[in-house]
Amino acid sequence: GAGVSQSPSNKVTEKGKDVELRCDPISGHTALYWYRQSLGQGLEFLIYFQGNSAPDKSGLPSDRFSAERTGGSVSTLTIQRTQQEDSAVYLCASSPRAVWGRWEQYFGPGTRLTVT
Amino acid sequence: AQSVAQPEDQVNVAEGNPLTVKCTYSVSGNPYLFWYVQYPNRGLQFLLKYITGDNLVKGSYGFEAEFNKSQTSFHLKKPSALVSDSALYFCAVRDRNRDDKIIFGKGTRLHILP
């Protein structure tokens, strides 16, 4: 079946512009996660959703970052007034939380964001 | 606070030798533990998980991991390394007492030398 998809795959933007990153999770997966991976670095947790609500927003780096999820499916991560330090690969993952023990995450290919 | 540590940035192993990638964790309750692999220019893939039951869990590509509660560790192992195992490996933990937040370690780059 279809996996997690993310768009765009690459985004180059000028410093100060706003960007929107989109994630389409696997159908039926109730949990959705956003992570950031800088070059050669580990995964930095940003936010996760259970349905449409986000119980934990503690990972968002600043108030320039926001995320929403509608209809328990698609999620968008918005970065306002982008800075060069925002350059990274943004990864989305989903998991079928509703099934006990099925908490492994399925990752999308990521969006590579470059802020010039 | 929930955390996971991978003490080695890089591990080098000769092909055919056993390999171990280390992971230790800290959670307030009992943990759920995961290993993921990221091959070059490819997305993260789930390898294996510990939820409950046997401390030795087996996963994809011949990998296994041993949960050790007293040492709060979940080391990844493989009896005989292949060059194709060269990749970036991530350990992750979910705290049973804290909803669905899953935290990843910084990753360990595994180099298998031919």
Contact A4, A90 (CB under 8 A): no
- Mutation target to probe the A interface, by most A beta carbons within 10 A, among B4, B102, B104 is B102
Taking contacts as CB-CB distances below 8 angstroms, the residues of chain B near A35 are 104
Contact: B100, A108; criterion CB under 8 Å: no
Backbone CA torsion sign across A40, B2, A52, A62: negative
B26-77 per-position pLDDT tens digit? 988 778 999 999 998 788 999 999 988 889 999 999 999 999 999 999 999 9
Three-state secondary structure string covering chain A: CCCCEEECCEEEECCCCCEEEEEECCCCCCEEEEEEECCCCCEEEEEEEECCEEEECCCCCCCCEEEEECCCCCEEEEECCCCHHHCEEEEEEEECCCCCCCCCCEECCCEEEEEC
- Mutation target to probe the B interface, by most B beta carbons within 10 A, among A103, A106, A111, A112 is A103
Per-residue pLDDT of chain A (116 residues; tens, 9 = 90+): 589 999 999 999 999 999 999 999 999 888 899 999 987 678 888 998 888 888 778 889 999 999 999 888 999 999 999 999 999 999 999 988 666 677 788 999 999 999 99
